[in-house]
Amino acid sequence: VELETPIVVLETSTGPSAYPRSLVVVEKGASADIVEWWQSDPGGSLDFANGSTELFVHSGGRLSYTHVQLWKNETSSFLSQHASVDKDASLVMSNVSLGSRFHKASVKATLAGPGATAQLNGLTYLNQQQFADHHTLQDHATTDALSDLLYVNVLDDTSRSVYAGTIVVHPEAQRSNAYQRNRNLLLQSGPRADSIPRLEIMADDVRCTHGSTTSTLDPSHLFYLNSRGLDHDSARQLVIDAAFHPIIDRIPNASIAETVRKAVRAKTNRKLQN
């Protein structure tokens, strides 16, 4: 089965706690795009959320899975994701973190068969006193597999992010190819971003790279955009859009990518209006 339209899973809660769990199995040669959207009910009082997702992509299958976390800012949120990608299968797993006062996520992708590919994407926009902590694991358990990770954090006010990423290449996983990149943009002097990349290489025929960059909003960039006719808010928004564009562009389904873009824009616009 090759689904032509995305499956949308909407998780809301009116109570004080939520425990969403999702299991996705893509059989041999099948193809699907799935969006899981966590969003607080306007009349609810959600204080705590703890969710779990398991993804299995069998031989020759294709899965694009996008998770959007939009709990209200009073919520403490936990997320556990584990994906297994079999022979010649492909996975694109994207995490968009916009809500919660405190959000901690564990994301693991195991490349379980030769020819498996996994692309891990992360987009986080934080403001006020929000805190987000993402731990990722690219687990190369077999030969001739590829993983590619890009996580981008944009922080405002006094928010804070932590990214800890690990690439593990097992002794039998020869000819593995793994990338890991974390980019942080601080919009003013108050936020803080910590990056902790790690490699655990136990094979000798591999290509593994990792890197992290953290920068502040450059006043000269804003001045340049102002001199071309953009006001301060429009120039600032353009820089934020540019930071997130590489992540949104990596989401295969155009309609899902546009929905994510609108959700990010909605939050950044609220910040500008305040």
**What is the reported pTM?**
0.94
The per-residue pLDDT for range 224-263, each reduced to its tens digit, is 999 999 998 999 999 999 999 999 999 999 999 999 999 9
150, two tokens:
């890009």
CA angle at residue 53 from 49 to 54, to 5 degrees? 160
pLDDT value of position 15: 85
179, two tokens:
């990338």
Average pLDDT for runs of 10 along the chain of length 274: 95 90 98 96 87 98 97 94 98 97 98 98 96 98 97 96 97 97 94 95 95 91 91 91 95 96 90 58
The per-residue pLDDT for range 75-105, each reduced to its tens digit, is 999 999 999 999 999 999 999 999 999 999 9
Asked if residue 182 lies in contact with residue 151, where contact means CB atoms within 8 angstroms, the answer is yes
Q: Where are the beta strands (DSSP E) in 192-263?
A: 192-201, 206-216
DSSP codes joined into one string, 149-162: EEEEEEE-TT-EEE
pLDDT value of position 271: 61
Cβ within 8 Å of residue 75, ≥6 positions away: 40, 46, 47, 48, 49, 99, 100, 101
Q: With residue 243 as reference, give the H or E element that holds it.
A: helix 232-248
